[in-house]
Amino acid sequence: MEYYAKSPNAQGNQPTVKEHLQRVAEFAQMYGEPLKLGEVTKMIGQLHDFGKYTQAFQDVLKGIRTGVDHAMGGACFAEACYKGRPSSHPIAEAINGHHDGLVAYDEIKGELYAVADPKKTVHGNAGKAPAIAAKEQLLTANTAFRKDFPDFKPPKLPKPPEGELESMLYTRMLFSCLVDADYTASHWTMTAHIFRMRRITVLTRGLY
């Protein structure tokens, strides 16, 4: 199955989840390097749309479903990668909040772990249905992600600041790198065809 990240643009180009994650990871790493967080922000960019490796989100793109939250799925996967270690909490917060805004880890922890508990119901962000609401869906998404990124290995995370203010700023820096990268990559996808056509026009001007 081919997993797409977005609807087709005006020219009919539709990026896959793999293509979008690669692009966002590159931009996020670039934005994180001056903060000496390049490897961390690259990983966040690579995981942020993990929840799009689902039938639920693909149905949204087909126009047969609405109100699906894919962001929490990425946070859930990050939580699983790091087994809930405290150093990964800002990662989960940044990924989970990249569309609906930052929410404290303690407020989303229950939802992240409810995915693995068949007796619990998972609630997505902003009242939406989660794209990943059960362990089987998480495993299916993991298989698709690993197929696209067979060499993926979560980097070692730095110890987050202990002070309340410093901790908040750290999370917001990660969040900002991700959101800016996501916007840049999405805008690039929508306009790349136009830039290519303009370049071809310039290069061929005067040939005919």
23-59 pLDDT tens trace: 999 999 999 999 999 999 999 999 999 999 999 999 9
Mean pLDDT of the chain: 91
The amino acid at 32: G
79-97 pLDDT tens trace: 999 999 999 999 999 999 9
Residue 180 belongs to what H/E stretch?
helix 164-204
Scan for tokens 């830039």, then name that residue. 195
Please tell me the pTM assigned to this model: 0.90
168-180 pLDDT tens trace: 999 999 999 999 9
Mean pLDDT of 65-92: 97
Q: How confident is the model at residue 188 (pLDDT cuts 50, 70, 90)?
A: confident
Residue 129 belongs to what H/E stretch?
strand 129-130
108-124 pLDDT tens trace: 999 999 999 999 999 99
| Ranges of each domain in the chain | 17-204
Mean pLDDT of 177-185: 97
The Cβ of residue 100 has, within 10 Å, a number of other Cβ atoms equal to: 15
pLDDT at 190: 58
